[in-house]
Chains A and B, each alone.
Chain A
Amino acid sequence: MPLALLRLRLRLRLLLLALALLLVASSGVASGQDTERIEGSAGDVLEDDPVGRLKVYVYELPTKYNKKMVAKDSRCLSHMFAAEIFMHRFLLSSAIRTVNPEEADWFYTPVYTTCDLTPWGHPLPFKSPRIMRSAIQFVSSHWPYWNRTEGADHFFVVPHDFGACFHYQEEKAIERGILPLLRRATLVQTFGQKDHVCLKEGSINIPPYAPPQKMKTHLVPPETPRSIFVYFRGLFYDTANDPEGGYYARGARASVWENFKNNPLFDISTDHPPTYYEDMQRSIFCLCPLGWAPWSPRLVEAVVFGCIPVIIADDIVLPFADAIPWDEIGVFVAEDDVPKLDTILTSIPMEVILRKQRLLANPSMKQAMLFPQPAQPGDAFHQILNGLARKLPHHNLNSGHKVLNWTQGPLGDLKPW
């Protein structure tokens, strides 16, 4: 056969193969399930690999700041504030850690401020300002890097109710404000509300810790039909702390109860059933209303179990808001619109609901909300590092004049720890 004809045939075959590959790639069907790529305002960054984009130096603090606290009470490893401990452990063995502080872009101070627990397991924030201050004093006296930039290239993980305001009551937290010494540092926190004192500009918002192993053991087959329309389990009235009502959750949870307790579409109660996780996987919408603080692990659970989160918290800032387009994934309902919740939910167009489910089914979305041990690519640890990498290169590192006032703040905070 003539050579030219053979060559033509080969080229045709290659072209056909390329076309076929293109078709397969564009259809994007993976194992019979349609998922959509998730792109936030920062672009398609959920699957970025932070290795090579930044270097983090981990300070070695005395164990009284970290290990001894965990040894005193091991519940710190499983409550919703455990992200600070796991972040430390992850950084210690990560590829982005550097032992040469001169080449580090970011400095991490491993101080566990949310590990002072009451007998019931609730963290007490009263000593946290002192603990943080003491840690910063240690760091600034043993290494020159804090004083060099006044902490502008340092980051801290503060997963408590109102972040670095270190109080569980919102009014007191607002009164205290963010710890003055952390004014220049970057805060990695779970709390996020627009124009709130306790959310600094440039903070990285993270999801609260939810135990990934426990959630994995409660998975049901995905073909289980979703037969619950709206699901919620939790308190509506906090009679211990807010006997009159109207204070807790700004009245939103009580409003949900009063308006929808008779509605069979709403499976809401204060029970704690053993099938909580399984029930979430059988629901289409999961309510995530605010409590004493706007964030809760419910968001993480809803995302992992594929239930569309209905977020009832005005002005809330959700985790990794620049990487995850939350308004395309969740439903946002203003607290004033709670009485109309059923109308709102039933009037969402069908394509929108199906699209939200497709986005939620994306495994990278679920992975980004979890803190698995050991760390896996795309998980919350990596998203935090990606966020830190996106903040590079540093601007305004040396502002020239000294901004931090070491004696600022309530007198009680100045006591050494």
Chain B
Amino acid sequence: MMKSLLPQSQLRRSAAAAAAARSSGGGAASGGADGAGSDGGAGGRVPAASTFWFLLHALCCLVSLFLGFRFSRLLFVLLFSTTALYSSTSSSSSSAVLRATTTTTTTTTTTTTTTNTITLSFAATANPPPSTSVNYSALDSAASGHTQSHVVVGRHGIRIRPWPHPDPVEVMRAHRIMERVQEEQRRWYGVKEPRQVLVVTPTYSRAFQALHLTGLLHSLRNVPYPLTWIVVEAGGTTNATASLLARSGLTIVHIPFPDRMPRDWADRHTTENRMRLHALRVIRERKMDGVIVFADDSNVHSMELFDEVQKVQWMGAVSVGILAHTGTADQPRLSEEDKQNMPLPVQGPACNSSGQLVGWHTFNSLPFAGKTATVVGEAAPVLPRGLEWAGFVLNSRMLWKEAEGKPDWVKDLDAVGENGEEIENPLTLLNDPSSVEPLGNCGRKVLLWWLRVEARADSKFPQGWVIQPPLEVVVPAKRTPWPETTAALSSELLDTKQDQEDRRLSRTNRSSQSRSTTKRKGDVQGQQN
């Protein structure tokens, strides 16, 4: 509808052209009366008068040539301005006009002073032509007594306040409004009775523990539900772990586990399972109520996971994205066909078309056969085994000895794992694995990612991430007066590093030649990378 006026531009141009033609013909725009009058007058007068009219005509032509439709509009307005005084709407329109005119003078739009004055008078008399015609048509129409509308057609000023910038008080009010609206939205559409989330994490003290626990800590801090973090630590509780957990501000249950974490991935897997079972027993003892999420410390969790697990009745399964590629050079070379046929690296429930659980997707580890890491710290991909615990969520009441409505397809916790048998995945807790609820749009949404990353065996990260003693200068910065020191690394390493920096510096130097050349020799420069 706004664009429906495209032809109007042509109309306007033609109107302007017509106006120009008329003004050249008669010295007045669109009002033909004046032109007729002047023509009539010219016919019956003395030649001196005719030359006067001719000169006036020429003058008007020249002026309209430069000012265009504005000139003709001004003339029209001036000639018909008397009608404004007699218009019935002049009072209301003039007040509107006054406001309009004051703002046109303060507008920051670039209008010359001449046009400003023209708009001033034009706005004052914009009403009469439409209003007079409106009056006629109002009289014409059969309906009785159209009261004159105070909304006028025509050019209006663009109202701009003197300081068009946001007011901080109003911004705060707006934010409060948004918060309240969002709270209301949560009340309407969100979870009705949010349950507590019990997060079970097996961990042990090692170089990357701080990395993993910090990430998990921040994720858990953002969960909008009441949360209890149950951390089971292999090898007993340590101060390092305890200090990390204390800084989180969450409710922590720090449980020691007597055995140390083995260095073999397979054994480590088993120990983690036993640690999780231990945590489940603690939950049962303390009769903790809520939804149990198995969050391994190196995994990454999305916020939607915690919203989704609120829907679980007894036991649910979510889709887990498996990140097995470590980016090393020893990746399995897959043909194009293999890549096409390879199933998704996702572990999760598989549903039929009616949304019922029919099976499980697991990670296909065949392409990785023989190239996986066996020892922690080895530079090779680490793969999950079978079904990972991370993809399952439990209702803690399922573990209690007596709970209302506890289904009979749940085994008693005491009957599991006591005789040292291995617990591969939580399905062993059930008599009937088909009663697991698929969550996350029947497993279509991947809600968390499984990843195992540990420090390489030969890496030398500082103990407790505190650099003691302070670092010495190992590699001198280019173009400094500092003396060359004996490096801790081998000299070859030093040379290769310097070559790299040379190349990098030369690249930046090429781009910022003026900068580097103007620097004096005595200045201390940092590395420009």
Contact = CB atoms under 8 A, between A and B. Distances in A.
Interface in B185-219: 185-186, 188-190, 192
Interface in B1-59: 1-9, 11-12
A246 B178 contact: no
A259 B130 CA distance: 30
Interface in A144-193: 161, 168-171, 174-175, 177-178, 180, 183-184, 193
B6 A120 contact: yes
A225 B182 contact: yes
Contacts of B147: 195
Nearest to B183: A225
Contact of A197 (B108, B146, B165, B188): B146
Contacts of A9: none
B524 interface: no
B155 interface: yes
A361 B109 CA distance: 41
Contact of B1 (A171, A195, A292): A292
Contacts of B155: 244, 246-247, 251
Given A263-B165, A263-B166, A348-B177, 19 more contacts: A122-B3, A171-B130, A174-B134, A177-B140, A194-B149, A195-B148, A196-B151, A238-B2, A240-B5, A241-B6, A246-B156, A247-B154, A247-B156, A255-B158, A258-B164, A261-B164, A346-B173, A350-B180, A357-B184
A211 interface: no
Contacts of A229: 174, 177-178
Interface in A382-398: none
Interface stretch (A38-46, A320-328, A332-340): A332-340
Given A123-B4, A175-B137, A293-B1, A357 B181 contact: yes
Contact of B9 (A34, A241, A247, A361): A241
Contacts of A264: 166, 171
Contacts of A336: 99, 159
B156 A251 contact: yes
B528 interface: no
A234 B1 CA distance: 12
B158 A340 contact: no
A342 B186 CA distance: 26
Contact of B185 (A223, A262, A296): A223
Nearest to A348: B177
Interface in A223-260: 223, 225-227, 229, 234-235, 238, 240-241, 244-248, 250-251, 254-255, 258-260
Contacts of A170: 153
A251 B159 CA distance: 8
Given A161-B4, A240-B9, A197 B137 contact: yes
B137 A171 contact: no
Given A221-B189, A226-B181, A346-B170, A245 B153 contact: no
Interface in A76-121: 80, 118, 120
A345 interface: yes
B8 A168 contact: yes
Interface in A292-341: 292-293, 296, 314-315, 335-336, 338-340
Given A221-B189, A235-B2, A238-B2, A346 B174 contact: yes
* Residue of B119, B151, B178 with most partner-chain A CB within 10 A: B151
A271 interface: no
B75 interface: no
Contacts of B4: 122-123, 161, 168, 292
B403 interface: no
A123 to B, nearest CB: 6
B141 interface: yes
A280 interface: no
Nearest to B307: A223
A199 to B, nearest CB: 10
A168 B8 CA distance: 9
Interface of B: 1-9, 11-12, 99, 108-109, 119, 129-130, 133-134, 137-138, 140-143, 146-151, 153-161, 164-167, 170-171, 173-174, 177-178, 180-182, 184-186, 188-190, 192
* For the complex of A and B, 5 pairs with smallest distance between CB atoms: A122-B4, A195-B149, A339-B161, A223-B189, A177-B137
A241 B182 contact: no
Q: Taking chain A's interface residues, is the majority helix, strand, or loop, or is none over half, making it mixed? A: loop
A265 interface: yes
A195 to B, nearest CB: 4
A16 interface: no
A55 interface: no
Nearest to A308: B181
A225 to B, nearest CB: 4
A250 B5 CA distance: 15
Interface in A34-74: 34
Contacts of B143: 200-201
A365 interface: no
A245 B165 contact: no
A180 B108 CA distance: 45
A264 B174 CA distance: 11
Contacts of B149: 193-196, 315
Contacts of B159: 251, 255, 259, 336, 338-339
Contact of B188 (A120, A193, A222): A222
B117 to A, nearest CB: 14
B137 A174 contact: yes
A196 B146 CA distance: 8
Nearest to B129: A171
B164 A339 contact: yes
A258 B173 contact: no
Contacts of A248: 2
A169 B8 contact: yes
B181 A240 contact: no
Contacts of B185: 222-223, 225-226
B192 A32 contact: yes
B50 to A, nearest CB: 36
A23 interface: no
A240 B154 CA distance: 17
Interface in A341-367: 342-343, 345-348, 350, 353-354, 357, 361
B71 to A, nearest CB: 15
A343 B165 contact: no
B239 to A, nearest CB: 41
A342 B166 contact: yes
Contacts of A207: none
A331 to B, nearest CB: 13
